Amino acid sequence: MIIPRKRTSFFVFFMALFLGVQQSAHTNPMHTPIKAILVGKPFLISTDRASVVGEAGVFSTLWNLGKALSLQKDLFAKITKKFGAQTQPYKANDPDTGKPLPLIMRYWLTGEKTGVEVRDAILKLFDGDSYTQKIVNIVFTPEKFIATNGIINDALKLVKRVKPGISQFFASNQDAATYEAIRTSDMGKKILPHFKAVYNSGNLKPPHQGIVLQDPAFYQLIMQEQNLKPEECLVIDTDEDIIAAAKSLGMQHFQYKAGDYDAVKKELKRLHLIS
Give 247: exposed, middle or buried? Use CB within 10 Å, 0-12, 13-18, 19+. Answer: middle
Contacts with 178 (C-beta within 8 Å, 6 or more apart), sequence order: 115, 142, 145, 202
For residue 238, the SS3 value is: coil
Domains and CATH numbers, the chain: 36-46+149-270 (3.40.50.1000), 49-147 (no CATH)
For residue range 153-201, list pLDDT tens digits in order.
999 999 999 999 999 999 999 999 999 999 999 999 999 999 999 999 9
Residue 12 has pLDDT above 90, yes or no: no
Q: What is the pLDDT of residues 39-98, one digit of tens each?
A: 999 999 998 776 776 776 755 455 555 665 577 788 899 999 999 999 999 999 998 888
pTM score over 0.85: no
Res 114 pLDDT > 80: yes
